Chain A
Amino acid sequence: MSRDLTGALFWLAIAIFFSIEGFTHLKLGTLHQPGPGFFPFWAGVALGLLSLISLFNSLRKTDKLSLSGIKSSKLLLVTGALLAYLLLLEALGFLTVTFLFLFLLLRIEYRGWAFSAVLALVGAVSSYVLFQLWLKTQLPAGPFGF
């Protein structure tokens, strides 16, 4: 399946979902008193029509571009680390999670335990000083109080 076809089908599904939701749950209202579903419904319809045009364009085109290789393992690790950071942030506290996060990511591209550990510690502490102490951002504290 070409990229344009996959994309068009995806957005078509989104468009159908929003239009139905706008039509049934939110109510369109009337033209001289439009309801909360009016704008999302028509935006959804517009997206749907454009997706159909894109779909036909992709079928007509002869050169079917496929996805260029995705190096999945590294990207999965990074996106996974981001998600884990967010899920653990309030449980473990800013400093601990930030240290672990930086350490893991530095290890991906950089060899050397000691170097990564020191750099992660410096990064975690200095961002704590910068954001918590200087800029007065309210970062979550963990069970150890930091």
Chain B
Amino acid sequence: MEIFQGLLYGFQVVLQPLNLLYCFIGVFIGTLVGVLPGLGPAAAIALLLPSTFAASPVAGIIMLAGIYYGAMYGGSTTSILVNIPGEAASVVTCLDGHAMARQGRAGPALGISAFGSFIAGTLSVIVLTFLAPSLAKVALSFGPPEYFSLMILGLTILTYFARESMVKALMMAAVGLLCGSVGVDSISGRYRFTFGIQTLMDGLGLVPVIMGLFGISEVLLNLERGEEKQEIFATPTKGLFPTREDWRLSTVPILRGSVLGFFLGILPGAGAIIASFVSYAVEKRASKYPERFGTGAIEGVAGPEAANNAAAGGAFIPLLTLGIPANAVMAILLGALMIHGLQPGPLLVKQAPDVFWGIITSMYIGNAMLLVLNLPLIPMWAQLLRVPYAILFPLILLFCLIGSYSVGNNVGDGIVMWVFGVLGYLMKKFDYEGAPLILAMVIGPMMEEALRQSLILSAGSFTIFFSRPISAGFILAAALLLLLPLITRRREVAKAWTSVPQESE
């Protein structure tokens, strides 16, 4: 009953006109960001974070969350029409989505991704509604050792799914931990690695680092690649509705993608990108005609698109119940909650029920808005893709500059963004991934605190991580993931990954 009261309360919060407006702005910007290649949800949320300072915490968070799941809808449009992923989680949609467009079936491809996204998004919010409050109760019993082990598992999962070598991904996680230790040490109060620079005293800002790694570096790479003449398919204004045959083929993949995506979304480190890849691999294996995949199989669009939306819902679970971000976007939302004076974690549901239930219920409404926004407006989004990159890229750079400056009204943060922009460009050139770095940088300080508190608790003995059953379970799972590649060598997901055109985070 508690849950229904919560839901009712949440709807009361969300249905206030101002919150509805913020939700709409969020999903609208999210779709826009999703459609535009080279600007991902992480950079966009980082950019808009300062503009929510004036709003109430609920409204601000509702809007930022809307950008995240909105981008999952928008990304597929670009994948299908231009064969460039609008954002990273719709990379696989290019394979069969674009093939369908080439056969003149862009309409049903766009339609099934919008419906699939809606179904998966809604299903995952329903599960989120029922799961989050009870998980928060379980999480109350977590001590520092459990938190530490869980974060170790999260980093391991992320590196396990690395596109290149796992060693390189682990290296980036270590670099992230080092980046996270810049600034004041929370236990002793000492400055670390600040070299007397004012900007570094508060630590490396998450917003400038993300905008550098995922915004600036992406623009540099695009500029270097030069403008390839991309064919944009004539956009259908009718015929968006999939046929009965399409539905017959897609229903099971959508449901399977929803379940898969949700659970991969929960795991810290996995997330929407991986969920879409795994769903594609699963559908291909389950299909009676796997050879159709890559030539315009609608299941190859429906499954992954459902999976990435479900993952976006699942990703809220660790944030709302444990206070641990599952990916870069959740890391910024965590930062946003803290700026608004809220402490994400098991106590959030008690301390700020309006925010907790507000976020969850806003996702029901946001998903419905997205369905309405996406189907009729697809021609408009497609027009946007015709804006030449020569005009777009100075504006993206300008937004990044303004965003990094306005977090703290400080040019130093802009310099941090510049450094990480150049570093991010070189990392791409040398095949290092940015995602493990970001996640490790965010959870680094939490991990350190949990580790040091655990050691103080146990009087210096590491057995505390193995003697407590939940913690031991996490560590065991992490160890298995680390050892598995040594035995099996080539991983299925990595194989699927390398066979698709590469794009941004």
* Chain A residues within 8 Å of B, Cβ to Cβ: 3-4, 6-7, 11, 14-15, 18, 21, 26, 30-40, 43-44, 46-47, 50-51, 53-54, 57, 67-68, 70-71, 74-75, 78-79, 82-83, 85-87, 89-90, 98, 101-102, 105-106, 108-110, 119, 123, 127, 131, 135-139
Chain A residue nearest to B52 in the complex (CB): A135
Interface pair B390/A82, CB less than 8 Å apart: no
List residues of B (382-438) whose CB comes within 8 Å of A's CBs. Answer: 389-391, 393-395, 397-399, 401-402, 405-406, 409, 411, 414-415, 418, 421-422, 425, 429-432
Interface pair A123/B394, CB less than 8 Å apart: yes
11 contacts between A and B (CB under 8 A): A11-B175, A14-B178, A15-B174, A18-B178, A26-B185, A34-B455, A39-B451, A43-B444, A74-B223, A78-B219, A139-B402
Q: How far is the CA of A13 from the CA of B201 in the complex (A)?
A: 23
Instruction: Say yes or no: is B170 at the interface (Cβ < 8 Å to chain A).
Output: yes
Known: A67-B429, A101-B398. A43 touches B178 (CB 8 A): yes
Q: How far is the CB of A114 from chain B (nearest CB, A)?
A: 15
Interface pair B395/A135, CB less than 8 Å apart: no
Contacts of A32 in B (CB 8 A): 455-456, 458-460
Chain B residue nearest to A53 in the complex (CB): B167
Of the four ranges (under 10, 10 to 19, 20 to 34, 35 or more), the interface on chain B belongs to 35 or more
* Chain B 364-398 near chain A by CB (<8 Å), digits 1 or 0: 00000000000000000000000001110111011
Q: How far is the CA of A89 from the CA of B411 in the complex (A)?
A: 8
Q: How far is the CA of A109 from the CA of B456 in the complex (A)?
A: 59
Secondary structure class of chain B's binding surface, majority of residues = helix
Q: How far is the CB of B472 from chain A (nearest CB, A)?
A: 20
Q: How far is the CB of A96 from chain B (nearest CB, A)?
A: 14
Known: A78-B223, A110-B390. A46 touches B402 (CB 8 A): no
Interface stretch (choices B101-109, B136-144, B188-196): B188-196
Instruction: Say yes or no: is B284 at the interface (Cβ < 8 Å to chain A).
Output: no
Instruction: Say yes or no: is B286 at the interface (Cβ < 8 Å to chain A).
Output: no
Contacts of B452 in A (CB 8 A): 34, 38-39
Which of A34, A57, A83 has most chain B Cβ within 10 Å?
A: A34
Contacts of A136 in B (CB 8 A): 54
Interface pair A139/B220, CB less than 8 Å apart: no
Q: How far is the CA of A122 from the CA of B492 in the complex (A)?
A: 50
Interface pair A57/B455, CB less than 8 Å apart: no
Closest 10 CB pairs of A and B: A32-B460, A31-B460, A109-B390, A47-B174, A105-B394, A36-B185, A43-B177, A39-B448, A86-B414, A135-B51
Q: How far is the CB of A98 from chain B (nearest CB, A)?
A: 6
Instruction: Say yes or no: is B340 at the interface (Cβ < 8 Å to chain A).
Output: no
Chain B residue nearest to A47 in the complex (CB): B174
Q: How far is the CA of A43 from the CA of B461 in the complex (A)?
A: 19
Q: A7-B430, A35-B188, A47-B178 are in contact. List 8 more A-B contacts (CB 8 A).
A: A14-B175, A31-B461, A36-B192, A43-B177, A47-B171, A82-B421, A105-B397, A109-B393
Interface pair A36/B430, CB less than 8 Å apart: no
Known: A34-B452, A34-B455, A85-B401. A47 touches B431 (CB 8 A): no
Q: How far is the CA of A50 from the CA of B178 in the complex (A)?
A: 14
Contacts of B50 in A (CB 8 A): 135, 137
* Chain B 125-168 near chain A by CB (<8 Å), digits 1 or 0: 00000000000000000000000000000000000000001011
Interface pair B220/A79, CB less than 8 Å apart: yes
Known: A47-B174, A57-B167. A131 touches B224 (CB 8 A): no
Contacts of A30 in B (CB 8 A): 460
Contacts of A46 in B (CB 8 A): 170, 174, 177
Contacts of A119 in B (CB 8 A): 391
Q: How far is the CB of A17 from chain B (nearest CB, A)?
A: 9
Q: How far is the CB of A134 from chain B (nearest CB, A)?
A: 9
Interface pair B224/A74, CB less than 8 Å apart: yes
Which of B394, B397, B421 has most chain A Cβ within 10 Å?
A: B394
List residues of B (38-93) whose CB comes within 8 Å of A's CBs. Answer: 50-51, 54
Q: How far is the CA of A35 from the CA of B185 in the complex (A)?
A: 9
* Chain B 186-209 near chain A by CB (<8 Å), digits 1 or 0: 011010110000000000000000
Interface pair B174/A50, CB less than 8 Å apart: yes
Contacts of B178 in A (CB 8 A): 14, 18, 40, 43-44, 47
Contacts of A86 in B (CB 8 A): 401, 405, 411, 414-415, 418
